[in-house]
Amino acid sequence: MGEADDITVMVAALRGKFGAASVLTGEDAQAQAHGWSDFGTPLAVVRPRSTAETAEMLLAFTEKGVPIVPWGGKTGLVGGGSATGAVAISFDRMAVVEMIDSVDRIMLVEAGCTVQAASEAAEAKGMFFPLDLGSGGSATIGGVVSTNAGGLRVLRFGMMREQVLGLEVVLADGSIVSALHPLMKNNTGYDIKQLFIGAEGTLGVVTRAMLRLRPALPSRSTALLGLNSFAHVATLLVELERRLGGMLSTYELMWAETYRMATSPPSRPRPILPNGYGYYVLVEAMGGDQDADRERFEAALAEIMESGIIADAVVAQSEREADDMWSVRHDGELTELAPFVAVDVSLRVSVIAEYVDTLRAEIEALWPGSRTALVGHIGDGNIHVVVSLEKDDTADRRKAISEAVMNCTARFQGSISAEHGIGLDKRNYLSMSRSAAEIEVMRAIKRALDPRNLMNPGKVLPPVPGKVCA
Amino acid sequence: MGEADDITVMVAALRGKFGAASVLTGEDAQAQAHGWSDFGTPLAVVRPRSTAETAEMLLAFTEKGVPIVPWGGKTGLVGGGSATGAVAISFDRMAVVEMIDSVDRIMLVEAGCTVQAASEAAEAKGMFFPLDLGSGGSATIGGVVSTNAGGLRVLRFGMMREQVLGLEVVLADGSIVSALHPLMKNNTGYDIKQLFIGAEGTLGVVTRAMLRLRPALPSRSTALLGLNSFAHVATLLVELERRLGGMLSTYELMWAETYRMATSPPSRPRPILPNGYGYYVLVEAMGGDQDADRERFEAALAEIMESGIIADAVVAQSEREADDMWSVRHDGELTELAPFVAVDVSLRVSVIAEYVDTLRAEIEALWPGSRTALVGHIGDGNIHVVVSLEKDDTADRRKAISEAVMNCTARFQGSISAEHGIGLDKRNYLSMSRSAAEIEVMRAIKRALDPRNLMNPGKVLPPVPGKVCA
């Protein structure tokens, strides 16, 4: 019996047990394989309704040597969910917020619940789930756990890793590791959940998560600032953190060219702050008392302006004005440059100015006339580098630009993936940001938990030369 | 050649290469084996001056099958550093703060540097390292990484895990894994440092750490509050977090009996707040502007008092008064009850009131007349349970009391170790807080990184029945 027959038999058996809608094949499966990037050609898509079903469906395939790829909201950008030759597990039927407790400040959520749905459920109970991503309407909890997503408030609240108290995962052998601890402190043995966070599904499949919540922070103070030097950008961050005493939640930077693009027609009729400054920072603080917080926020900005660190500033006077400032930041990456290559990197703040000069010069030398836009979660040293392509540019050129950005980043001891992960697209560059000894430890862990290399195989770790599997 | 001869040969070789002071044996070694708990009878104590020396010394022993136990400040309370039958590695000659950068907000520190020395070095550069432990004058960075220490400001700044950006470790085979990344965001493959944080030296030996710093927060607002119900304790936490907008750094609870002990002679002549309330909370907020922060802090307390949640309050009017309030908290555990058994547990806040009633009743039933004091980092659900012993009480009684506390904790789905770790003393109780599936994953990781079980063997993981090694 060939592999295709094998799959047909397994699919029939699972449909018999779990219902026709539980397994998609052929065109129905392929119709699901679209998202923010390519999701390949899956052998089948299974749709469990519980952790037990996930384990049973997964084992049905892995015991025959068929690999498994978990799918969340399919917003990944590095090929981490590409399921060619594998069975995809979709969590679209496991999207329930099972429990929210505002005394214990926790939330128990199924893997397929979107970030937005989880946030709204928390908000309805007077609580706050801080992860804030552009993709939050689609990205799922299982996905943001598996990629350790970042976003716009990492500076204050940390990445997804810091929001996870406990996890439930299914391993390659079908065993369920249920570690849904609701505790902030739990030093009982190895903190194994940390392994699965950011592993992109290569060690196991996340089915549920116990998340940490915070009390609602109803006040929001937002400002757009113009600065003249990168040194001021770095100093301002420290000054604001000190003066706002923990309220600072967002510190986003746009370089001048990016700001110009995001505020000129057709993006919008005119800029909020005039063009001409070297750097534009979007700052947001969150707290519990709108009037007192606003007063404190404005006083901090006014004091810092006196020192000359801030050249120009406008404070949002309403939610509408704040949203308008955010729309500039969100437009900053995309509108004018498409099609483009985007690379997500991070660096020490102290080297960013020199890095950017070097990078621009290298890109200009190799691809004269291409345009480079830079925006960043600069409070975290995270920059999204966006380089324009021509309409008919080849995949080779796309790859060459991406490699040039990563090469430059590595020379400045940066990370070639700050928040998007490694997936398929960056696995061959992993050694730019990790030493051979680190990669050896990763391989040892992979072998320990997935000895047959069936969990999202080929992702994250570079292929071993001369070996078929990782 | 017997093992003793083997050791003698290795010691002579290491002394020849690294100097006489690099290896202690006999009485000199034993003289080092004292700390806050028992550190056993080491075969020898080696004292490397660098990571390279650590790797070479370690391998000299592990390649002959001699186990290794890392020693930090020897403030551990669960037998994690007991070195009987093993060679101890002392980091007393690796205690340097190698680098502090206030723009990148990072600090590179050797494992033997004390928490206090690291904090003071950060402070001298206008920065802040938030870990605050009673043992900070002795506890080392390597130790607090290996135990994922907590302390008094976890609520705002997280445990040690959240302060670590990168680590350097030596594995059992002598290989050096240098992953001293200075980046806040780095999603390039498995976050392997997370494995070594809290592993108590059972997977590798930490030699250096890259730590995250924050800007200095020079303002401190401190208050002692009296409350009448545990429900108010839980509500007050949420209210303060919301109103102080991120400034709240400490939320410590003393139960009435504990407070009475800590504020009566001989501890001090009179209490700060009168006795008679059910609960006493020590609150601290940190920020950048003493006057504005104090005003905000007092306004928040005044508003909450109007709602009746706080029954009585006193705000410290000077550093001296704040220190005095802290001395009550620090005395809360110790003075009057010694000798005692102390157990460090954590629970969901919502069950703590019932847990405490149940626990007190069980202790009273089993050991009538014993006294139980409770203090806690209640913002994190972390309680230190202290039960008095008689002077001539046996180790068996000590063990029985400790087991009773852990048993009760497990019934309330709590953690039997919130911040002290598992070590030797709690390894047989690990299954109270971790499922069999979780412990299996831990064993798989242990086998992957330390296949010969030579790194702090016998700690953390319970012995496998019928097997000599883990």
How does pLDDT run across B46-93, given as a tens digit for each residue?
Answer: 999 999 999 999 999 999 999 999 999 999 999 999 999 999 999 999
Is the CB of residue A102 less than 8 Å away from at least one CB of chain B?
yes
- Cβ burial B21-46 (10 Å sphere, 16+ → b, else e): ebbbbeeebeebbebebbbbebbbbb
Per-residue confidence band for B330, with pLDDT thresholds at 50, 70 and 90? confident
pLDDT in tens, A3-41: 777 899 999 999 999 999 999 999 999 999 999 888 999
User: CA torsion B354→A192→B180→B161, rounded to 10°?
Assistant: 0
The pLDDT of residue B469 is 44
Structure tokens of A64? 């025959």
pLDDT in tens, B227-275: 999 999 999 999 999 888 789 999 999 999 999 988 988 778 889 999 9
Whether the predicted pLDDT of B417 surpasses 60: yes
Q: List, in sequence order, every residue forming a beta bridge with B382; answer none if it has no partner.
A: B346, B377
Residue B44's SS3 state is: strand
Which region among A294-303, B46-55, B288-297 has the lowest average model confidence (pLDDT)? B288-297
Is the CB of residue B421 less than 8 Å away from at least one CB of chain A?
yes
pLDDT in tens, B201-222: 999 999 999 999 999 998 999 9
How many of the other CB atoms lie within 10 Å of CB of A389? 18
Is the CB of residue B154 less than 8 Å away from at least one CB of chain A?
yes
Is the CB of residue A190 less than 8 Å away from at least one CB of chain B?
yes
Residue A422 is nearest to which of B101, B189, B239, comparing CB atoms? B189
Cβ(B42)–Cβ(B29) under 8 Å? Answer: yes
The pLDDT of residue B253 is 96
CA-nearest residue to A460 within chain B is B189
Give the pLDDT mean for B411-426: 96
Per-residue confidence band for A95, with pLDDT thresholds at 50, 70 and 90? very high
Q: How far is B464 from chain A (nearest CA, A)?
A: 15
The residue with tokens 């209490």 is B271
Cβ within 8 Å of residue B279, ≥6 positions away: B226, B227, B228, B229, B230, B232, B233, B253, B254, B255, B256
Residue ranges of A 45-74 with Cβ closer than 8 A to chain B: none
Cβ(A18)–Cβ(A57) under 8 Å? Answer: yes
Q: A130: cis peptide before it, omega within 30°? A: no
Give the pLDDT mean for B436-460: 98
Residue A247 is nearest to which of B162, B245, B380, comparing CB atoms? B245
Predicted TM-score of the model (pTM): 0.96
Whether the predicted pLDDT of A470 surpasses 60: no
CB-CB under 8 Å, B288 with A461: no
Give the pLDDT mean for B443-450: 98
CA-based nearest residue to B254, from B271, B279, B227, B276: B279
B interface mutation test: which of A190, A284, A442, A443 has the most B CBs within 10 A?
A190
Whether the predicted pLDDT of A1 surpasses 70: no
Residue A236's SS3 state is: helix
The pLDDT of residue A264 is 87
What percentage of chain A has pLDDT greater than the value 70?
97
- The conformational region for residue B423 under phi > 0 = left, psi -120 to 50 = alpha, else beta, is left
Is the CB of residue A177 less than 8 Å away from at least one CB of chain B?
yes
Residue B178 is nearest to which of A101, A435, A448, comparing CB atoms? A435
Structure tokens of A185? 């402190």
Tell me the C-alpha to C-alpha distance, in Å, between residue B226 and each of B252, B325, B334. Answer: 12, 13, 21
The pLDDT of residue A332 is 57
Average pLDDT taken over every residue of chain B: 94
Please calculate the CA angle B43-B423-B168 and round it to the nearest 5 degrees.
Answer: 75
Give the pLDDT mean for A397-419: 96
Q: Enter the DSSP assignment of B458.
A: T
pLDDT in tens, B307-322: 999 999 999 999 999 9
Cβ(A414)–Cβ(A355) under 8 Å? Answer: yes
Single-letter amino acid code for the residue at B189: G
CB-CB under 8 Å, A191 with B194: yes
Residue A156 is nearest to which of B175, B216, B246, comparing CB atoms? B246
CA-nearest residue to A450 within chain B is B444
CB-CB under 8 Å, A214 with B243: no
The pLDDT of residue B466 is 63
The pLDDT of residue A396 is 92
First to last CA, chain A: 27
The pLDDT of residue B321 is 97
- In whole angstroms, what separates CA B41 from the centre of its chain? 24
Which region among A194-203, A383-392, B218-227 has the lowest average model confidence (pLDDT)? A383-392
pLDDT in tens, A37-63: 889 999 999 999 999 999 999 999 999
ipTM given for this complex: 0.95
Residue ranges of B 201-240 with Cβ closer than 8 A to chain A: 203, 214-217, 219, 234, 238-239
Residue B177 is nearest to which of A159, A346, A441, comparing CB atoms? A441
Query: What values do phi and psi take at A184, rounded to 5?
Result: -75, -30
pLDDT in tens, A234-258: 999 999 998 887 899 999 999 999 9
Cβ(A420)–Cβ(B185) under 8 Å? Answer: no
pLDDT in tens, A255-268: 999 999 889 887 78
CA-nearest residue to B286 within chain A is A245
B interface mutation test: which of A185, A286, A291 has the most B CBs within 10 A?
A185
Is the CB of residue A287 less than 8 Å away from at least one CB of chain B?
yes
Tell me the C-alpha to C-alpha distance, in Å, between residue A267 and each of A274, A319, A332. Answer: 15, 20, 9
**CA–CA dist B273, B187 (Å, integer):** 49
CA-based nearest residue to A237, from A386, A348, A318: A348
Whether the predicted pLDDT of B470 surpasses 50: no
Whether the predicted pLDDT of A333 surpasses 60: no
**CA–CA dist B105, A382 (Å, integer):** 14
Burial category of B180 from C-beta neighbours within 10 Å (exposed 0-12, middle 13-18, buried 19 and up): middle
Residue ranges of B 326-355 with Cβ closer than 8 A to chain A: 346-350
Per-residue confidence band for A460, with pLDDT thresholds at 50, 70 and 90? very high
CA-nearest residue to B382 within chain A is A185
Q: How far is A296 from chain B (nearest CA, A)?
A: 8
- In whole angstroms, what separates CA B127 from the centre of its chain? 22
Quote the crossing angle between the two packed helices A395-411 and A349-366, to the nearest 10°.
150
Residue B188 is nearest to which of A154, A382, A422, comparing CB atoms? A422
How many of the other CB atoms lie within 10 Å of CB of B426? 27
Question: What string of DSSP letters covers B150-175?
Answer: --TTHHHH--HHHHEEEEEEE-TTS-
**CA–CA dist B403, A367 (Å, integer):** 69
Is the CB of residue B189 less than 8 Å away from at least one CB of chain A?
yes
Average pLDDT taken over every residue of chain A: 94
CB-CB under 8 Å, B244 with A189: no
Size of interface A-B (CB pairs under 8 A): 297
Whether the predicted pLDDT of B42 surpasses 50: yes
CB-CB under 8 Å, B286 with A415: no
CB-CB under 8 Å, A349 with B182: no
CA-based nearest residue to A284, from A270, A269, A300, A271: A300
pLDDT in tens, B376-394: 999 899 999 999 998 887 8
The residue with tokens 């500076």 is A155
The pLDDT of residue A221 is 97
From chain B, pick out residues whose CB is under 8 angstroms from the CB of A106: 348
CA-based nearest residue to A282, from A382, A372, A152: A152
The pLDDT of residue A469 is 44
Q: What is the largest CA-CA distance in chain B?
A: 78
CB-CB under 8 Å, B433 with A187: no
Is the CB of residue A125 less than 8 Å away from at least one CB of chain B?
no
Strands A68-71 and A87-90: parallel
